[in-house]
Structure 1
């Protein structure tokens, strides 16, 4: 896999600034007490997104005050995709502020700090992330853009507001974050899931916004296959739809029926085994 291009780096930076602005405008237009999910109100959702931006400032600027959670760095190293919900509960317990304006001010200021701290740095420079994964700076941007898009979807759906997941911005999540952690090392982030197998499964993801990306699962590890290896499964996808599926907002059946995803290839029946390992919190 190639490294992050300057064009991708600029796009990710612009997307982070723009989607932060969109999310803030959306939240300002809603009642903070409205429930977005079974457990989170608009205010809780905002606090969650703001906590991530705060955490990311600390990753890229060691002079910035860390999150006020005792032992949080050590705790993060043990987190996997299956325990991210527990991590979020820990954060929201320690960060008790739920007034929208202070949280929005914090979110917007921290995103500005992240962008300023990363300006002039290489997009492939890595930081140690959740689950002891190594994430490139461009991947941090892409992850936070996806959080803004997904949780903006939650807020908009609960409050009847319009909200889109623009394809090029949504595509950054797989293109820069998922590719980035596989390239640089995902630590224990996806521990568990599918048991190790000697059977190689190669899945190709294709969208109108990115170059095709292939991942392989072999002996319990996700990596990039040799270019000569034919894919077993091909997924043609709309990036916004794929992200909503990966984070449990839209079912795979609905995504296929509405045309947001098309699954094909020589052995499409191998996809479920691949996705038991290559998974996200949902």
Structure 2
């Protein structure tokens, strides 16, 4: 697979990513401390403990991928990933939030220890297909932020998403977008979008007859430019926030020849 963006370079960029992975893993410990694991996640089938168990297992999977292990996990489609998630939860009965929080943090550190000595551009095969090692790190960070947000909402506690961390998820989000297009929703769709995230780099997504290509600059005149507040951008990308709600709350602004396309843009993708 050819990535549309270069891998993060060595030094400060990788260090910031690895620091964020460690910080967010450690945030899980505090978030899960003293909570009721049976608390349901709003809008989901999982409880807090089940979401934490999933995170612990996903972090372990990504740490092993970073170490060079071959760990098949579904085929990248939402249905296969859901089945793999259910199977892995059934195999791991631990549901103590404190134990799971510590495991989430431990596996996050294990990832950075395994990835650090390797080149950021080294290819790895992930649940969403091929990507480079540093993009896998951004994938891990994105995955933790999404599920820890759900847990925080369920518990009424602060979530760990902020602008800096959203910026570090961008390499994965850009890589994943063409992979998670909803073929039914996007069928026949052709339009060019410029996406701008306040305080962060922007990029473009061009649809041609339902197929999406991500690039740094628009390949043609944008039909719709979308400016989003960083936290709202990630929550919309992960299906936790609707574009309509974000537009209504002023978290998203849109303009261009076809600004109405902004409200339906997230629906062109199916987050796994």
TM-score by length of 2: 0.84
* Residue in structure 1 matched with residue 200 of structure 2 by the alignment: 210
* Residue in structure 2 matched with residue 141 of structure 1 by the alignment: 137
Distance 2:200 2:57 in 1: 30
Q: CA deviation at 1:206?
A: 0.8
CA deviations 1:158-216 (Å, max 9, x no partner) are: 2222235211202333x21022346xx84xx546333543x642111112332211111
Tell me how large the CA RMSD over aligned residues is.
Answer: 2.6
Distance 1:164 1:172 in 2: 13
Matching residue within 5, 8, 14 for 2:9: 5
* Residue in structure 2 matched with residue 169 of structure 1 by the alignment: 165
Q: CA deviation at 1:138?
A: 2.1
- Trace 1:1-282 onto structure 2 (pairs within 5 A): 2-3=5-6, 4-6=8-10, 7-37=12-42, 38-62=44-68, 73=72, 76-77=74-75, 79-81=76-78, 83-131=80-128, 133-173=129-169, 175-181=170-176, 186=179, 189-190=180-181, 192-197=183-188, 200-224=190-214, 227-271=218-262, 274-281=265-272
Give unpaired runs (5+ residues) of structure 2.
none
SS at match of 1:224: strand
Structure 1 consecutive aligned stretches of length 4 or more whose deviation exceeds 6 Å? none
Q: Which moved more, 1:80-89 or 1:12-21?
A: 80-89
TM-score by length of 1: 0.82
Distance 1:2 1:211 in 2: 12
Q: CA deviation at 1:271?
A: 4.4
Distance 1:105 1:8 in 2: 26
Distance 1:140 1:213 in 2: 20
Q: CA deviation at 1:49?
A: 0.6
Distance 1:272 1:238 in 2: 15
SS at match of 2:183: coil
Distance 2:227 2:195 in 1: 6
Give unpaired runs (5+ residues) of structure 1.
67-72
